[in-house]
Structure 1
Amino acid sequence: IFYLKAIMLSIGTMNSRISFFICLMTFSLYGNNITASTAFIILSCYGSLRTVVTVAVPLGISQVADLLSSIKRIKNFLFIQEIQEIPPAVPGIAIKIEAKNVHASILKGKNVLRGINLYLGSGLHGVTGPAGCGKSSLLRLILEDISLQDGYLNVNGTVSYASQEPWLFPGTVRQNILFGLPMEQNRYVTVLKICGLRKDLEDFAKSDNTLINDKGLNLSTGQQARINLARAIYKKADIYLLDSPLVSLDINVGKFVFTNCIKKFLKGKLILFVSQQNQYLKEVDQVIVMKDGRIHETGTFNELERSGVDLGFENDKLSPKDNEHPDYEFVYDSDAEDEEEEESELLLKSHSSLHDKATKLYSEQKKEGKVHPKVYRTYFEYTGGFDRIGLLLLLYIVAQFGASYFDYYITHWIDVENSITKILEGNGKNYTLNEKDGLNLTYNSTIADRFDNLSNQKSLVPLIYTIILVVTGAIVLIKSFLFFGLSSRCSTKLHSACFSYIIRAPMAFFDTHLTGNILNRFSKDFATTDEFIPYIIYECLRILFIILGSVILIIKVNFFFLFLTFGFGVVLAIVRHYYLPTSRNLKRLDNIKVPLLVI
């Protein structure tokens, strides 16, 4: 890709000159005389067309391709089957979930739930079954998260949901629990207590203002699960869908949360509680056993056990049971006999503190001031060293010299054409050229000798012009290949260096750095170093040497233009002084945006 880009940019650089040369040759072969006005009008037209033909048109074609691809993706998204809306809750009617012969699917044509018939009112309802039988899909159906293909479903009441995998976002513990809801102090404190989080927060340096990093990786699995549950419990709802909320908890902690949170605090609500742990299923009002996407049996735990239904699913999980953080030991208070003591007596004994890593969450910081020279030095060192950069600059100088000489040689061609025209218009008079014609003619030579000399020079002009064009084009191509070869080398070495540091980083690094930020370095930032920066540097050097070449040519004709050039340079320096800090700060603000992949 780098070398294809080098070829395209080389063609773009020489395109106007090649086209101009072909146009002049064709114009001359048809017997027309090339004048200064003709040549420079054609040159200015090709200069104007260069940007359109070599930049705007290819860019437009590529953007049209991107547009068509985007339209196709949007079209596919809009044509996805709509989820059937469940009627809203009707005030004054009892809380309920009713399903009649429901078939539901995630992907079209593949039903994950089949023939679901269910009527649930207030109370604690357990859902169990082997792995992959549709327990979570049943909850997702009630949430309207999967498509209802057939049947009737009615959910009357507001719904709160705790997912099977704890979902935590970068923020404080409090923000993760409140999740945008207004703070109600009494309810909030109660939720912390019944979810067994109070003691954890006491051990954190900043209590519930402790920062949680990406996906809560600086917390134990049990803490993640309890914060995830606390968010669902804090929301005031009629129906609570709890998908395996206790699977990651220690047996004593799980018992405490089940008793105080699910059974007592949510009493009178409709609770759909997914679990494969029989010690909890024994205490629910009704057990729903699922198998192969269908409701296999319903009844109390004792009724199902007496009827011979297999309820031994405790070891049949999608992943092994996770315990609390190994540095923590949970024990139940032996004196917790009365009800007041039972509500909160979980003693947390910590052998090491989590609060250090829980409060040192990395965040993007915006740099101030100028870019440190070390950044530029490191970038150029990765290209292969300053010797190769020196060779590249030399090629830029030679290429620009050839391009400038190409432009300068036009004047020689025009002078030859004008001189021949003057001789032919002299009607045989003793016409003599002066030194300004630059043709190295001897004064007082005969008209015939001068005409022969000019004719020979005119015949050599296309050959010399072709040689200049070919040599300059070859140097431009070599220069472009070398430039993008060094850019490719720099990008590869930068990526290898970053990857090497990442895989050798201690695990604590990943506890405090968001996954989205790390991915941003390897996606967005490397896309910039691979695509944007090389092109900008290439264009910057090309335009710089074009300006230098043009200024030198003009100064050669009129030295006083040097003072005007100096004045323009001062104006540009002043504009740059105000523009660059603003542009740099805007770019830095863009770079510290939190990526979507963090959530």
Structure 2
Amino acid sequence: MELKDARLKLMTDVLSGVKVLKLYAWEKSMHSRLSKIRTAEVIQLKYATYCYSLMEITFSSCPILATIASFTGYIIVQGNPLTPQVAFITLMLFGIMRISIYQIPKLIQEIINAKISLNRVQDFLKESEIPDIINSMEPTAENVIVQFENANFSWSCSVENENSEISQPVLKQLSFKIHEGELIGIVGRVGAGKSSLLSSICGELYQNGGKFFRKSPISIAYVPQEAWIQNLTLRDNILFGKGYNEIKYFQTIESCALKDDLKMFPAGDATEIGERGLNLSGGQKARVALARAVYHSADLYILDDTLSAVDSHVGAHIFENVIGNDGILKGKTRIFALNSISFLPKCDRIIVMKEGNIVDCGTYVELLARENETFTELVKELAIKKKNQTEIDDAIAEEDEDVLNELVGAASIREYIRSISTNSAGDLPSPLYRRRRTTSSSNPPVTPVSFHHSISHQHDDDFARLIDDEEIGSGKVSYKIYWSYAKVFGVPLIIGLFLILFIFRNIFESVSQIWIAKWSSFNSSSANTNDIENLEIFAIFALSSCILGGVSAAIIAIGAYKASKKMHENLLFSLLRSPMSFFDTTPLGRILNRLSKDIEKMDKEVPKTLAFSLISFSECIFGILMSIYILPYLGIISVIMLIIFVFGVRYYTYASVQIRRLTSKAWSSVASHAQDSYIGVNTLRVFGVQERFMDQMLQKGVKCTESDLAEITSNR
């Protein structure tokens, strides 16, 4: 389990950053690390299979040993002759017991797996939860929305006793208050505690001393530093479960500088966004997350460095039209962590942070007048940073113009710019121009009607969709798949295994029963020596059959070890070398489902199913041959029953395989939803939509349960 968790954790990290991995050509390095973990995992799996085989030999030998002991006591101790009635009734009774005993190893293994799973779930459930916000003080004024008084906060606490062992505070001795309708700017160097302060207001940190107040009830909208985008259409990402209001939606899109971006998308706001916003730029993701918060119409807005991902003129547009006191959020309480000197004078108050402490608080003019060292140095750094960035932008612009002048001349440039300015956004000739046009904020205002027409133009579903539905096969499994597994399993091993099972194991088992029949048919009082010899011969054949069964199980373990390792290697090799278009259109949960549940089935279920199938097939064939040998006319009945059985198996196989495919697809959906919810859990909690996402997970879980139930029922 630990190795499997380590492999899946590393695989999740690889898939989450696959673009960076490919840019740095780290495929071989990651492939090597994953293969190393997988090899250790499969070795443990092989040893576990050996133990299971030994246990299977032990339990399957118990009925035979019991039969031998019974015959010994009946013949030698009591001195009774072995008659057919006694012999075959005894064999039948112990045969019935053998079927039950044969299930004991499987039962033990399932109990062990269940115990491990329950312990893991228990450890997870015993983890501490984020406590509900409990106001420990009364506000000092009526219009106070948030207030701290010597408050300390930390990111974690002890599971055993949340009140005794709390981790080191990341926020210390906070004392300030925020009034309704204020625009509060939070500044500080990297690691000063700005994001932690915002998280404490959201209720994501543990309070460790002091007093805290947050107005209740209150609705909060949160824009994290790293935007969380769902695998939905762009409109659904912005609405986030809210009802559609055209005018409000239009104002939100216009204010967040998304209008030109929507024109570029092939299906407007109906364009599907990939997982984690894969088909959006960093600035677009930040603006979509901001638009979601704006459309939410909350009382308190918490913005964590929202404008750092956008260009300076786009940031100015957003601040003026959204965040600032003249924007659509005017009158709302806004707490804004920022790293730009341009917006500091426009904040009502500024909180200066350093190493988790608030070192000063006041208006921009007041802070400059106090000549606070931390704030003064920070302002200088931000001013230098802004100046350098401006110089770089100007230099790049001059360089671009010089290159174009050399290529086509000034007149041609004007012609070129005039031509591309008349093109539709979807036909822009250059990604660079497309980006610059996207970030422009100087477009003339449009009415809701014309705006709605421009972003909701008619489109083909093929253009709107990005993520393809998971395709599931139909009908029987191709023989090529069986052959591909046979090749990695080892064809010589399969042939050897089949011969051992089909010939020797069943010969020994059949001979032992024939020997009992011959022995008991004499029905005479033989000497004890003859009975002992007959009993020894029976024991040799019967125990040899059990030993061969164990050897065949060990061979299956060796072949399954080779097959599991090779199949995973092939999958990993193909996956890491797939183009980015594959990862853009395939949900992460779907890929992880292939690497977790499907690999687990290949590791555990396929070898057992293979062994059971070969044993059942060989026993069935030998049983039919033995019946025909004893009663020849049973051959006709056997052929008829075999034909009926073959047709029944064909229909069963179609249904069973299709149910398994549906089950796999249902679990992929669960994995994708769980992964998406886990990444955006902070946003979900702040927006208060946990119940909606839990309901969605329950609905997906019900589909999985229904598929599992159908699979179990079909196997009866």
1:107 counterpart SS class: coil
The amino acid that maps onto 1:558 is: L
1:530 to 596, 603, 626: 603
Closer, same or farther: CA 332–511 of 1 in aligned 2, 3 Å: closer
Where do 5+ consecutive residues of structure 1 fail to align?
342-354, 421-450
The amino acid that maps onto 1:53 is: I
1:361 counterpart SS class: coil
Contact 2:59 2:104 in 1 (8 A): no
2: CA distance, partners of 1:79 / 1:55: 36
1:191 counterpart SS class: helix
Contact 1:205 1:356 in 2 (8 A): no
Correspondence 1:115 to 2:173: yes
The amino acid that maps onto 1:376 is: Y
1:293 to 338, 350, 356: 356
The amino acid that maps onto 2:477 is: V
1:419 counterpart SS class: coil
Contact 1:253 1:330 in 2 (8 A): no
Contact 1:128 1:290 in 2 (8 A): yes
Correspondence 1:99 to 2:136: no
Contact 1:212 1:358 in 2 (8 A): no
Contact 1:218 1:357 in 2 (8 A): no
Contact 2:84 2:520 in 1 (8 A): yes
2: CA distance, partners of 1:233 / 1:315: 29
1:180 counterpart SS class: coil
Corresponding residue number in structure 2 for 1:432: none
Measured against aligned partners, the alpha-carbon deviations of 1:562-582 in whole angstroms (never above 9, x if no partner) come to 344345435544543443333
Aligned-pair distance for 1:368? 2.2
- Cα-Cα RMSD: 3.5
Measured against aligned partners, the alpha-carbon deviations of 1:243-267 in whole angstroms (never above 9, x if no partner) come to 1111111222222222212111111
Aligned-pair distance for 1:496? 0.8
Aligned-pair identity (%): 26
Q: Tell me the number of residue pairs that the alignment of Structure 1 and Structure 2 aligns.
A: 548
2: CA distance, partners of 1:495 / 1:69: 24
**Structure-to-structure mapping, 1:155-554, within 5 angstroms:** 155-156=214-215, 157-263=218-324, 264-306=327-369, 307-311=371-375, 312=378, 328-330=434-436, 359-385=465-491, 387-398=492-503, 399-416=505-522, 418-420=523-525, 457-554=530-627
Measured against aligned partners, the alpha-carbon deviations of 1:139-177 in whole angstroms (never above 9, x if no partner) come to 222222222333333222311111111111212111211
- Larger fraction in helix: 2
Aligned-pair distance for 1:25? 3.0
Closer, same or farther: CA 298–393 of 1 in aligned 2, 3 Å: same
2: CA distance, partners of 1:212 / 1:465: 71
1: CA distance, partners of 2:439 / 2:274: 32
Closer, same or farther: CA 288–41 of 1 in aligned 2, 3 Å: farther
Aligned-pair distance for 1:87? 6.1
2: CA distance, partners of 1:172 / 1:333: 21
Where do 5+ consecutive residues of structure 2 fail to align?
1-47, 158-165, 394-430, 448-460, 678-716
Corresponding residue number in structure 2 for 1:83: 131
2:353 counterpart SS class: strand
Corresponding residue number in structure 2 for 1:440: none
Corresponding residue number in structure 2 for 1:135: 194
Q: TM-score, normalised by structure 2?
A: 0.69
Aligned-pair distance for 1:326? 6.2
The amino acid that maps onto 1:310 is: T
Aligned-pair distance for 1:327? 7.3
1:150 counterpart SS class: coil
Contact 1:162 1:232 in 2 (8 A): yes
2:209 counterpart SS class: strand
Is the deviation greater in 161-170 or in 97-106? 97-106
Corresponding residue number in structure 2 for 1:556: 629
Aligned-pair distance for 1:226? 1.3
Corresponding residue number in structure 2 for 1:448: none
Is the deviation greater in 467-476 or in 240-249? 467-476
Q: TM-score, normalised by structure 1?
A: 0.82
2:436 counterpart SS class: strand
The amino acid that maps onto 2:100 is: V
2: CA distance, partners of 1:478 / 1:597: 43
The amino acid that maps onto 2:150 is: N
The amino acid that maps onto 1:120 is: I
Closer, same or farther: CA 142–334 of 1 in aligned 2, 3 Å: closer
Closer, same or farther: CA 94–568 of 1 in aligned 2, 3 Å: farther
2: CA distance, partners of 1:501 / 1:159: 44
Contact 2:506 2:622 in 1 (8 A): yes
Closer, same or farther: CA 508–336 of 1 in aligned 2, 3 Å: closer
Corresponding residue number in structure 1 for 2:208: 149
Contact 2:317 2:441 in 1 (8 A): no
| Structure with bigger gyration radius | 1
Contact 1:101 1:116 in 2 (8 A): yes
2: CA distance, partners of 1:95 / 1:489: 67
Closer, same or farther: CA 55–326 of 1 in aligned 2, 3 Å: farther
Aligned-pair distance for 1:495? 0.7
2: CA distance, partners of 1:119 / 1:136: 17
Measured against aligned partners, the alpha-carbon deviations of 1:204-242 in whole angstroms (never above 9, x if no partner) come to 111112121121122211111111111111101110011
2: CA distance, partners of 1:17 / 1:564: 31
1:63 to 111, 115, 118: 111
Measured against aligned partners, the alpha-carbon deviations of 1:54-103 in whole angstroms (never above 9, x if no partner) come to 4246525742663475257436635626614346999xx74611222222
Is the deviation greater in 368-377 or in 57-66? 57-66
Corresponding residue number in structure 2 for 1:8: 55
1: CA distance, partners of 2:113 / 2:659: 29
1:166 counterpart SS class: coil
Contact 1:123 1:268 in 2 (8 A): yes
2: CA distance, partners of 1:358 / 1:5: 52
Closer, same or farther: CA 574–58 of 1 in aligned 2, 3 Å: closer
- Larger fraction in strand: 1
Closer, same or farther: CA 481–571 of 1 in aligned 2, 3 Å: same
